[in-house]
Every structure is written in C-alpha cells, then in structure tokens.
Amino acid sequence: MKYIKMKMSNFFSEDEFLKIQSILPRWEFSKEYSDEEIDIFDEEIERMEQLKGFESEDGRFLGDMINKFRNNPKYA
C-alpha cells in the first residue's frame, strides 16, 4: 500500500489553520501526515462542526474549511 504524506499547509492558509488549531489543537500546520491520518482529521473536523452547531460562527467556519479541504484535488 502506498502512503501519501500531506501537510495541512497543502489545504489551508496559515491564518485559517490557526483558527482550526484553536478548535482542534493536536494538528500541526507543517507536519506531514499519512493519508489515513488525513482521513482522521476529516472525521474530527466534521464531528467538531456538528458539536459547534451549523449556525454558530465556528460551525460555519468549520463547514467552509471542510468544503475547501474536500474539494482540494490533493485530498480527493
């Protein structure tokens, strides 16, 4: 199985990621993650969006970041 290494910087600007990191602190902007770890991030950010509520400022922000993340050809 081929492992792909990706960084959060492949998907988000530093400012966007700092806001994500304030909600999900275990993730790092420039660390390389395997495709499996990136899938875990995807699940965590979606779960946090649901916990924050879709109508809250954080929930809307996370929803926008999920769309940006999932629509990136590096993740698809």
Sign of CA dihedral 24, 57, 30, 42: positive
* Closest of 9, 1, 71, 68 to residue 36, by C-alpha: 1
Q: How far apart are CA 41 and CA 69, in angstroms?
A: 10
Percent of the chain residues past pLDDT 90, beyond the cut? 82
Q: How far apart are CA 66 and CA 62, in angstroms?
A: 6
Q: How far apart are CA 26 and CA 3, in angstroms?
A: 21
Listed by start position, the domains of the chain span: 5-70
For the segment 14-26, the average pLDDT, to the nearest whole number, is 96
Top-confidence residue, 34 or 75 = 34
The pair of three-digit structure tokens given for residue 2, joined into one six-digit string: 């081929």
Tens-digit pLDDT profile for residues 25-39: 999 999 999 989 999
